[in-house]
Structure 1
Amino acid sequence: MSPPKSVAIVGCGWLGEALAVHCLKQGVEQVKGSSRHSERASQLQQQGIDTQVIDLPASRSHDLQQFLAADVCVFSLSPSTPGYIEALTQTCMHLPTGARLILLSATSVYPDCNNEVDEDTFIDAHNTNNPTQWQAERLVQRLVSSALIVRLGGLMGYNRFLLKYFLNKESITGADTPVNHIHRDDAVHILFRLMASDVEKGTFNAVAPMHPLKKEVLEAQARRLGITLPPQVAPYKQAFKKVIPKRLLQTLDYQFIYPNPTDFPFDLP
């Protein structure tokens, strides 16, 4: 396995920036990132990322085509971005011949079936929990011959940790529901491993292999912060799925840095 010579990251946000910096450290010769805002682009430029201000969907297709001139393109825009599907369509249509596309998707495409799911679990437009993301996956499979779809679990680590989202809540629901999380460091390493591999296409779940209950993660983080959790209230167990990274483990033999979300390190607020 050898790293690509050039990478273009469409939507260089919290994960995209970390991936870009990692690519530079691993010797990728040209790492490009896009942002919709000039101030953000300047911040990325200071990290050594060749940054371009592109507001997708782009009115000037020539600018997009120049930006996408790379061995690997990572599409990292959020599905909540206005014009998301159109932006993805433009990206697919302007990829250079021979380039691989990596679509950052989400484990939320799986239905809440109260069971384990993996990459072979059947999903369609009727049972998916995330119709926009599912539509994006189908679009990429139809338009791009060399496409990898990476379904990320809930991204955690650094300034993102589960308890942060409950600090101002009066109560906790779904405490007995298992989580599907991944630490950003693992997400970055998985994406880079896929870039450097000879895998041309396929769908991969990028999620920690262990699925503690929400309350177990919250209790561990509360102990670290020395605070008392809000009370747990019904419904204690909500509809769920346990997302298994089966294909990732089989294809890459990936060893997780942080396999248990209960042990994820995070920055103290």
Structure 2
Amino acid sequence: MAQKTISVLGCGWLGLPLAQALVEAGYRVKGSTTTPEKVEVLQQSGIEPFLLSFPENSPKTDLATFLEADVLVFNLPPKRTETGAQTYEETLAQVLVNLPTKTTNILFISSTSVYPDLHREVTEQDAIASSDSPSLLLRCEYQVQQAVGVHATIVRFGGLMGGKRHPGRFLAGRKDVPQPLAPVNMIHLQDCVGVLQGILQEEAWGETFNACAPSHPSRQEFYTAAAQQLGLVPPHFLAEKTTSFKIINSQALMERLSYSFVYPDLMACLADSGF
């Protein structure tokens, strides 16, 4: 069987370790970065580097060449501004219009932020992608799903932790933090990479998956313990009894991929030496 090529658009916190894991698994991997200094990092990891900038393509590289792959992983995080949202949609549109016929599978990295606080457990059916959605990510999910000749799988990740993202720093020292009893919806970097590898191995295309650890401690319990582990001042939470929340259900992912989380218990994960 011919070696498959995977292009990872965005080799940052998640994209780089994913690309490195794919190289180790025997794939030919192309990786993009906007930082010239990172080109050597990619090369040293066995990743074919591409210096890309959007919405205009950098003259130093060829977007079409980068997109020549069996699978494209679209892993660019949107910026939280109106201008940033517009640029994000323009970037996605530019990528989709330049897709060669060879690239028939897309892994689109989305977020569980697409779900409102429904005060209950939520599944993938609780947020439907559409062209006129007020949610940027749901509009973009729809664009990817409607791309001609493409089989797309959407992965909605929960809050990200692991690597250099230790949750102990997120709220340390803050005063009057709201929602102490709200459940936490998070996922460790190792599980992010594991989930994406599982989708590739199972060729689970045309799906939408939630990806979040199955345990959901309260914000107060989790962030207090996380700060204490780093020797930082724990956040001070308001004494609120009313909670606005959602609990992300990832059962569909676990069943379809037969996936077992590396870190299913977030409280136990805090004490792991991987941090």
TM-score normalised according to structure 2 size = 0.87
Q: Is the 8 A contact 1:125 1:131 kept in 2?
A: no
Report whether the alignment pairs 1:219 with 2:218.
Answer: no
* Structure 2 counterpart of 1:7, one-letter code: I
2:163 paired residue number? 158
Q: Is the 8 A contact 1:151 1:205 kept in 2?
A: yes
Q: Is the 8 A contact 2:168 2:225 kept in 1?
A: no
CA separation of 1:227/1:164 partners in 2, compared to 1, >3 Å: closer, same or farther?
closer
Choose the corresponding residue for 1:204, options 197, 203, 209.
209
Q: Is the 8 A contact 1:178 1:213 kept in 2?
A: yes
CA separation of 1:268/1:210 partners in 2, compared to 1, >3 Å: closer, same or farther?
closer
1:186 paired residue number? 191
The aligned runs of 1:99-178 (5 Å cut-off) are 99-123=104-128, 131-144=135-148, 145-178=150-183
1:91 paired residue number? 95
1:181 Cα offset (Å): 0.2
CA separation of 1:155/1:237 partners in 2, compared to 1, >3 Å: closer, same or farther?
farther
1:159 Cα offset (Å): 1.9
Aligned length: 266
Instruction: Report the Cα distance in structure 1 between the residues aligned to 2:164 and 2:224, rounded to whole angstroms.
Output: 18
- Using the TM superposition, name which of 242-251 and 77-86 deviates more: 77-86
Backbone CA RMSD of aligned residues: 2.7
Identity between Structure 1 and Structure 2 (%): 36
1:232 paired residue number? 237
Other structure's SS at 1:210 match: coil
Choose the corresponding residue for 1:48, options 46, 49, 62.
46
Instruction: Report the Cα distance in structure 2 between the residues aligned to 1:155 and 1:147, rounded to whole angstroms.
Output: 22
- Using the TM superposition, name which of 81-90 and 70-79 deviates more: 81-90
CA separation of 1:46/1:60 partners in 2, compared to 1, >3 Å: closer, same or farther?
closer
Q: Is the 8 A contact 1:148 1:200 kept in 2?
A: yes
Instruction: Render the CA deviation track for 1:217-256: whole Å, top value 9, x for unaligned.
Output: 1233244334552322154654211110122012111000
Q: Is the 8 A contact 1:8 1:31 kept in 2?
A: yes
CA separation of 1:237/1:256 partners in 2, compared to 1, >3 Å: closer, same or farther?
farther
**Runs of 5+ in structure 2 lacking a partner?**
none
Q: Is the 8 A contact 2:52 2:58 kept in 1?
A: no
* Structure 1 counterpart of 2:230, one-letter code: L
Other structure's SS at 2:169 match: helix
2:63 paired residue number? 64
1:56 Cα offset (Å): 1.7
Other structure's SS at 1:57 match: coil
Instruction: Render the CA deviation track for 1:51-105: whole Å, top value 9, x for unaligned.
Output: 1111022347981111011111000001115611111112122223252101000
Q: Is the 8 A contact 1:4 1:71 kept in 2?
A: no
1:187 Cα offset (Å): 0.5
